[in-house]
Amino acid sequence: MREIKFRGYAKEKMLYDQWLHGFGVMDIDYVDGKIEWHLYTPHGTYEVFPESIGQYTGLKDKNGVEIFEGDVVSNLRNKINKIIWSDEELSWVAESKYPNGEDASILLSDLNEIASIEIIGNTFEHQHLLEGATNGSS
């Protein structure tokens, strides 16, 4: 059974690392229209940037690093991919498109493919890794 984990980038200045890992996420909608996103961790609840929130895929890259939604990865095909959940595939995928628009995504459930994937960043801090790519990837 896969461990359910989330990560998010803390809005307040943290002592060691801005990236927090936890077990739940909640949004708070205020009457004035403001929305805050909070990550529940073993050490407390912290406000995080909503675009930084990602769920753990249950998989690790070729270096043993946990893969989260929103990670940017490279693979042996020299492709840069963004990790997303695909409702169409009902699976985590490394999203990619060929220049002609054809889907070149990789299912993370394919163990041969996961063995070649390496995390090179994330979409929150390293959006530049996806620049110039077709639909967020190359």
Nearest to 49, CA basis, from 7, 4, 92, 5: 7
Higher per-residue pLDDT: 132 or 111: 111
Task: Reply yes or no on whether the pLDDT at 137 is more than 90.
Answer: no
Gap between the Cα atoms of 110 and 84, Å rounded? 15
Fold of 56-130: SH3 type barrels. (2.30.30)
The confidence score (pLDDT) of residue 131 equals 73
The confidence score (pLDDT) of residue 30 equals 95
Share of residues in the chain with pLDDT > 70 (%): 91
Domain boundaries, the chain: 6-51, 56-130
Looking at every residue in the chain, the average pLDDT score rounds to 87
Cβ-proximal residues to 124 (8 Å cutoff; 6+ apart), any chain: 9, 49, 51, 52, 70
Gap between the Cα atoms of 25 and 5, Å rounded? 10
The confidence score (pLDDT) of residue 136 equals 41
